[in-house]
Amino acid sequence: MNNHRKTVVVGMSGGVDSSVSAYLLKEQGFKVVGLFMQNWQSEPGEVCTSEIDFKDASKVCDMLDIPLHKANFSDEYWDKVFEEFLSEHRKGRTPNPDILCNREIKFKSFLDYALNIGADYIATGHYASLRDINSKKYLVRSKDLKKDQTYFLHEVTENEFKQCIFPLENLFKNEVRDIAESLNLPIFSKKDSVGICFVGERNLKDFLGRFIKLEKGIIFDEYGSEVGIHNGATLYTKGQRQGLNIGGVKGKEDLPWYVFEKDISKNEVYVCQGIDNELLFSKYLECDNISWINSLDFSFPKSCSVQVRHQHTPVNCEISYENEIYNVEFTESIRGVAPGQSAVFYDNDVCLGGGIISKSA
C-alpha cells in the first residue's frame, strides 16, 4: 500500500490508544486527520468528561501536528444506542452499549463523516486485527489477548472493515504507553475509560434511575426464603456478586451470594451461594439473530467457540439453526450466561460474528 497522499481519519478520544494510533499512521506516511466525537450531551451541573477528553485530544494533535475536527453525534447516539440500551434494561436484560456504539456510531456515523471530509480510511485505537484471506477482510484477535476488543466489534461488517485500519493490532498495551511516554504525550499515563460507552463512569443505579422507574424489591434464595432487599430487579445480572448487600443470614454458611435469576414482572431477584453453584451454570443458549461479519461460507451445524462476555475464556460449541432460532450447545458448562449480553463466535482467532442471548439453560 502506498500510504503517501492517502488520508486516514483517526477517531481521537483523548486517550493513549488513539493518540499512539495517530502517531504510528503519520510515521507510516499517511496524511492523518483527527476527529473527536461528542456523543453525549451533558446536563447542567454534570462533570463533562468529554470536555476534558477534547482538551487532551487537542493537545496531542497539536504536538503531532495534525488537524483535529469535532463532530457532534449525540442525537444519533441517543436514538440508535441509548434508547435501545434503556429498552433492553426495561425488559430486564443486560445490554452492552459498547457493541451498539461501535455498530451505529464509530463505524457508521464516524465513517460517513470521515468519507465526507476526504478520508480514504478510518482508524481507531481498538485492540483488534484485520487479515486479508482470499480477497476477503476478516476480523482477527489482536496480539495483546488481554486487551483484545474483537468481542465489541462483532456487529460491524466486512464492508466497513474494508475501509478501516487498526494500528495497535501488533502491540501490547504497555508498549503503547511506552511509545506515548517517549513522545512526551501528556496522556501517556491516563487511565483507560470505563463505564457506559461515551457516557462515562457513573453509578448505574443513580444514572438509570433518571430514565427508568426503579423500585425496591425482595431478594429470595433458591429455597424461597427472603434474604435481602434490592434496588430494582433490572439492575442485576446473572452471575453478579457485587451490590447485593446481603449480610450474614441466619442458618446459612458464610459464602458469597450470586444472582442466578430474576423476575422483572414481580420485581424479584433470586440468589444462591457459592461461585460453583450449579444454578449459575448453563450448557446452552439461544440467539434470535446473529450478525455475521463476512457473508456465510459455512453451513449448520457449525462447530466453533463461543465467548459470552469480554475476557471470558472461549468454550467450544456447536451452532444449529432451526425454526429461525440459533441454538448453541457448549461442550462444557459456562457460568453466568445472561440474556441481553452478547454471544460472540470464533474460529480459532477469527471472529465470525455474534448475537444477543435471548435465553440460556
Percent composition of the chain: helix, strand, coil (DSSP 3-state, to 5):
25, 30, 45
Domain 7-182 fold is Rossmann fold (3.40.50)
CATH code for residues 214-275: 2.30.30.280
pLDDT surpassing 60 at residue 200: no
- Which pTM value belongs to this model? 0.90
pLDDT surpassing 60 at residue 194: no
**Any bridge partners for residue 325, and if so which?**
322
Report the interhelical angle of 16-27 vs 49-64 (nearest 10°). 20
What is the tens place of the pLDDT at every residue in 269-288?
999 999 999 999 999 999 99
Residue 197: active-site member: yes
Q: Which residues contact 47 (CB under 8 A, 6 or more apart)?
A: none
Q: Of 48, 61, 164, 197, which residue is the catalytic one?
A: 197
Under a CB-based contact definition with an 8 Å cutoff, are residues 231 and 206 in contact? Answer: no
Please give the full DSSP string across 164-180, using - where no structure is assigned.
Answer: EE-TTTT--HHHHHHHH
The amino acid sitting at 343 is A
pLDDT surpassing 90 at residue 16: yes
Residue 101: active-site member: yes
Under a CB-based contact definition with an 8 Å cutoff, are residues 281 and 356 in contact? Answer: no
CATH architecture of structural domain 281-360: Beta Barrel (2.40)
Q: Of 61, 101, 164, 317, which residue is the catalytic one?
A: 101
Q: What residue ranges do the domains of the chain occupy?
A: 7-182, 214-275, 281-360
Q: Do domains 7-182 and 214-275 have the same CATH topology?
A: no
**Any bridge partners for residue 60, and if so which?**
none
Give the H/E segment covering residue 329: strand 325-335
Residue with cell 499512539: 20
What's the mean pLDDT when you consider all of the chain? 90
